[in-house]
Amino acid sequence: MSATAVDDTITAPALRVVPGTLRGAGRMVERSILVYRRTWLIIVSGFFEPLFYLLSIRIGFGALVGDVQTPNGPVDYAVFVAPALMASSAMNGAVYDSTMNIFFKLKHARLYETVLSTPLGPSAVAIGEITWALMRGVLYSVAFLGCMAALGMVISWWALLALPACVLIGLAFASAGMAVTTYMRGWNDFEFIPAATLPMFVLSATFYPVSSYGGLSWVVQLSPLYHGVALVRAACLGEGSWGLLGHVTVLAVMTVIGLRVASRRIGTLLLT
């Protein structure tokens, strides 16, 4: 057998598997759309959270602080904090959708056992569920940016780039959330979720510049959310630099690891 024939034998199955996985993931997304079509209030209610956050900063606390010094000059405190809240909203939406909902389907509804009895595989399940969580996150991010614009917190057209940044944040945290969920034993384990997300929300340069943390700034930079906050804030303030590629890399690596762990764990739990 020639080398070309051997290569074709190896690559042909792979070429068939990848489109099949994507089609299967699309079926999982379609199922979620059909389910939430009757419970649309659950999704719509998520639009009110960004509005309350932004109103509290713009009308309340923000007026007491004044301007914040950034590398490109002073900016209004509300304008400084709003992008961080947008990044945090993308994280929270992705985490909670990819943990509690996934755990219910995995342990109680036994949905994935039924799905895996069809031609769909673990990778299709993981990608499909993470895609749905990401779609909800995108809707909330668009609503958040719209609220920011309505309240006068958008100072540059570059703020539109905050949307793909939030997509990356949602993808990274949804992947990690689903991977972590596969190790949870019961509902009591979910107390660890806010125990992880709340410190990240507070200690990710959300309310103060990273320079204000002094010698603890390196601790802040260990937070995955910090990298998301840096991306969204840079977009909203129109600040571009090559250093942003480092933040993108961190979130991309987090996404790949989360996807691999989630798909393998689902296969291990349900196919063995």
Give pLDDT, residue 272: 59
Give pLDDT, residue 169: 92
11 found inside a domain: no
Give pLDDT, residue 6: 34
How does residue 60 score in pLDDT terms, banded at 50, 70 and 90?
Answer: low
Q: What residues contact residue 88 under an 8 Å CB cut-off, 6+ apart?
A: 201, 204, 206, 225, 229
17 found inside a domain: no
Distances (CA, A) of 180 to 83, 187, 265: 27, 13, 10
Whether pLDDT at 206 is above 60: yes
Q: Look at the block and give the residue holding tokens 């998520």.
A: 46
CA–CA separation, 181 vs 265, rounded Å? Answer: 10
Structural domain count of the chain: 1
3 found inside a domain: no
Give pLDDT, residue 246: 92
Q: What is the mean pLDDT of residues 59-76?
A: 72
5 found inside a domain: no
Higher pLDDT, 71 or 6: 71
How does residue 27 score in pLDDT terms, banded at 50, 70 and 90?
Answer: confident
7 found inside a domain: no
**Domain carrying residue 60:** 25-271
Give pLDDT, residue 3: 38
| Cα-Cα-Cα-Cα dihedral sign, residues 38, 194, 123, 115 | negative
Lowest mean pLDDT among 47-51, 217-221, 224-228: 47-51
CA–CA separation, 166 vs 88, rounded Å? Answer: 9
15 found inside a domain: no
- pLDDT above 90 covers what percent of the chain? 14
- Are 77 and 212 within 8 A, CB to CB? no
9 found inside a domain: no
Q: What is the mean pLDDT of residues 243-252?
A: 92
How does residue 252 score in pLDDT terms, banded at 50, 70 and 90?
Answer: very high
116 found inside a domain: yes
Higher pLDDT, 152 or 269: 152
| Averaged confidence pLDDT in the chain | 79
